[in-house]
Amino acid sequence: MKVNEIFYSLQGEGLHTGTAAVFLRLSGCNARCAFCDTQHQEGKEMSEEEIVSAVSHYPTRHIVITGGEPTLQITALLTTLLHQAGFYIQIETNGSTPLPEGCCIDWVTCSPKSLPVRIQRIDELKVLFDGERPLYADQAAITAMMPGIKELRLQPIDSGDEEKNKKTLKETINYILSNPKWKLSLQTHKIINIQ
């Protein structure tokens, strides 16, 4: 597997915000989003055993597998070994490809960038908001396809412009107040200046 980076921090987004987690960022992505902050092609080849050994050095047993698009590389062997080591496995995916057969994930956060969504299950749907509308996917179609979604999160896009971000946040809040099935998701790791 090609690993972009492994690091220890707090989960900054969604239901698990504030949870100490080890992050396994895999290289490569099938989407090319203009706002993405990861160099997805860089990385180091590691076996599943090497990954489990590396992440087991941290005191937490919560792992967030992200990317890039992690479903392009994740394996059933990796999830089995992580569970054997006591890890709770969260994945952050764009949902465009299914999980490989045999992969057992405890929590699936999906931030779709296009339809159809092909991931088999979504626990938390995170939709980006540009200040005018939810982006990239018809959330009504997704929630109809995936009736078991537990959390609906709306996250303002970080444009890199402080004034624009304030306006986008205000509009996101207004949208949620008019559509209370959604909850606000902020990138708290950026707000508190951690990785």
In tens, the pLDDT along 74-88 reads 999 999 999 999 999
Spatial CA neighbour of 135 closest among 159, 109, 168, 112? 112
Q: Which residue has the higher pLDDT, 27 or 50?
A: 50
DSSP 21-64: EEEEEES--S---TT----TT--EE--HHHHHHHHTTSS--EEE
The reply to whether 23 belongs to the active site is yes
Check residue 187 and give its pLDDT.
77
The reply to whether 37 belongs to the active site is yes
- Pick the catalytic residue: 92, 93, 109, 124? 92
Alpha helices in the chain (DSSP H): 48-55, 76-84, 139-145, 162-178, 188-191
Q: Which residue has the higher pLDDT, 188 or 172?
A: 172
Q: How confident is the model at residue 26 (pLDDT cuts 50, 70, 90)?
A: very high
Spatial CA neighbour of 15 closest among 187, 190, 185? 185
Q: Encoding tokens for residue 135?
A: 């982006």
> What whole-number distance in Å separates Cα of residue 163 and Cα of residue 168?
9
Name the strands in the sheet holding 2-10, side by side, starting at the edge strand that comes first in the sequence: 44-45, 2-10, 20-26, 62-66, 88-93, 107-110, 124-129, 151-156, 183-184
- Pick the catalytic residue: 13, 16, 23, 168? 23
- Pick the catalytic residue: 36, 49, 50, 104? 36
Q: Encoding tokens for residue 4?
A: 């972009």
Q: How confident is the model at residue 160 (pLDDT cuts 50, 70, 90)?
A: confident
- Pick the catalytic residue: 38, 75, 80, 97? 38
- Residue 98 one-letter amino acid: P
- Pick the catalytic residue: 5, 17, 19, 33? 33
The reply to whether 29 belongs to the active site is yes
* The model's pTM: 0.87
Q: Encoding tokens for residue 155?
A: 């996250």
The reply to whether 38 belongs to the active site is yes
- Residue 56 one-letter amino acid: S
